[in-house]
Amino acid sequence: MGSVHLTGPRVAVAAKPAALGGLRLPTPSIAVPRGRSARGLVVRAATVVSPKYTSIKPLGDRVLVKVKTSEAKTDGGILLPVSVQTRPQGGEVVAVGEGRSFGSKKIEISVPVGAQVVHSKYAGTELEFNDADHLILKEDDIIGILDGDDVKDLKPLNDRILIKIGEAEEQTAGGLLLTQATKEKPSVGTVVAVGPGPLGEDGSRTPLSITPGSNVMYTKYAGSEFKGQEGEYIVLRASDVMAVLS
């Protein structure tokens, strides 16, 4: 993947949002320098695995994911250089480690090979293997398993929670109508699904106290946001939920 560091005047280009099935990320903006050389361009390259190696076996609680292909064009059809293409947040699990040990107790990886998963942004180590982009990341960096074509079908893992974000207020307390640009993004929503809970030191899971259907308030700027067919969603950790509303 690449990241761009720019100074001086710039032009914002809307990039086509990344998607995994029906799951879509909020549209990012790409900063393109105007009248500047490439001296400000910073690129993080993936580790290229030599063709002499035919397989990769993750160790411990690590998982190998074949990353979904990045979008190569903006909505307007502009070709994007590799350095500024939106990095996908999902892919297919192609190999898993043996799991974690808690004393004499062995806990296997809960994500099966072949599963379509969504992972934390910028998590893991990038690899180029068999002419395809891959990530090696820890199981805890996987947000959830996508069982269908829409984010509402996401199955959260560990202590993560899937929330449908509430609608933004249409007007101020004084009755002033708000434009789309001035609406404050809410930090409340309805719980759609919850993970099985975090692993304790003895290898047992502690179920989450938050249940589907609950209306909750969560920390601003926490988690990963996605656009679904029925609205916007966020996946975050249970510790980012501040209160249950009733």
pLDDT tens digits for range 71-97: 544 555 555 444 444 455 889 999 999
Phi then psi for residue 178, to 5 deg, are: -100, 140
Residue 66 — pLDDT band, cuts 50, 70, 90?
A: very high
Instruction: Identify any residues that bridge with 55 across adjacent strands, giving them in sequence order.
Output: none
Q: Which fold has domain 54-70+86-146?
A: 10 Kd Chaperonin, Protein Cpn10; Chain O (2.30.33)
Half-sphere exposure of 87 (CA within 13 A, CB side): 21
Label residues 135-158 b or e (16+ Cβ within 10 Å = b).
Answer: bbbbbbbbbbbbeeebbbbbbbbb
Per-residue pLDDT at 167: 78
Separation CA 40–CA 59 (nearest Å): 37
Indicate if the pLDDT at residue 9 is higher than 60: no
Q: What is the mean pLDDT of residues 224-241?
A: 92
Do 27 and 15 contact (CB within 8 A), yes or no? yes
Q: Which fold has domain 158-245?
A: 10 Kd Chaperonin, Protein Cpn10; Chain O (2.30.33)
Closest CA to 22 of 152, 150, 121: 150
Label residues 163-172 b or e (16+ Cβ within 10 Å = b).
Answer: bbbbeeeeee
Could you say which DSSP state residue 149 is in?
S
Closest CA to 31 of 71, 62, 74, 64: 74
Residue 21 — pLDDT band, cuts 50, 70, 90?
A: low
Q: Where in the chain is the domain with CATH 2.30.33.40?
A: 54-70+86-146, 158-245
Separation CA 158–CA 231 (nearest Å): 24
142, amino acid identity: I
Do 159 and 236 contact (CB within 8 A), yes or no? no
Indicate if the pLDDT at residue 30 is higher than 50: no
Could you say which DSSP state residue 209 is in?
S
Q: Is the dihedral of CA 203, 58, 136, 163 positive or negative?
A: negative
Identify the helix (H) or strand (E) that includes residue 136. strand 132-138
Q: Which CA distances in Å does 20 have to 137, 147, 202, 216?
A: 18, 11, 35, 27
Q: Which CA distances in Å does 134 have to 59, 65, 129, 184?
A: 15, 5, 7, 37
Residue 19 — pLDDT band, cuts 50, 70, 90?
A: low
Least-confidence region, from 14-23, 82-91, 160-169: 14-23
Instruction: Give the N- to C-terminal CA distance of the chain in Å, as an integer.
Output: 44
Residue 172 has which token pair?
A: 């101020």
